[in-house]
Structures are given as structure tokens and as C-alpha cells.
Amino acid sequence: MFQYNSDVARGWESKSVEEQQAETSEFYGKPKPRLTSDQKANQQLRDGLLMSRNRIVQQLTTVQNSRHQKMLESVLADLDAKISQLG
């Protein structure tokens, strides 16, 4: 019959528990700097523009109509300009 926890779980062999816990706390333990409401709004706007940009780039890979392609390239240039203005 199988013994529960008879061996050490995978990933734990090479490092001690203390080492893994220390690495985890270093990665997750650092608090993020608090943002002002203006900074939060700016970040949300930038994130939205980047998502739109990714969607346009994806559409450009499959577009077949040249007019549609030109329109998407124009939108992409506009998005790039707005993103660069935000910093």
C-alpha cells in the first residue's frame, strides 16, 4: 500500500524549506509603491491603450483588404503616439 508523504515532495530536494520560504518572501514580500489617483488613472489608460494596440497588431496579421489595413495602420500610429505621450 502507498504511504502518504513517504518521500519529500518534488522541488524540495535541492533546497531547504527555509531557503524556498526566503525566496518566496523576497519575491512577494516587497510592497508596491502607493500610487496617487492621477497615477492610477494614467496607468489604467496606458494599460487600455496597450491592450488596444495588441489587438490592432493581431488584426494586422490577418487583414486582407488594403483599405482596412491602412485604417488599422493609422489607428496603430495614433495609439503609439498616445502611449509615447504618457511616458
- Tens of pLDDT, residues 6-47: 555 555 555 666 777 777 766 676 667 788 999 999 999 999
Whole-structure pTM value: 0.61
pLDDT at 78 over 60: yes
Digit-coded pLDDT (tens) for 48-71: 999 999 999 999 999 999 999 999
CA 29, 33, 38, 42 torsion-angle sign: negative
Write down the pLDDT at residue 20: 72
Tell me which residue of 71, 40, 35, 41 sits closest to 56, measured CA to CA: 71
Question: In angstroms, rounded to a whole number, what is the distance separating the alpha carbons of residues 43 and 9?
Answer: 41
> What is each CA distance from 58 to 53, 61, 72, 75, in whole angstroms?
9, 5, 10, 13
The share of the chain scoring above pLDDT 90, in percent, equals 57
Could you tell me the residue ranges of all domains in the chain? 37-86
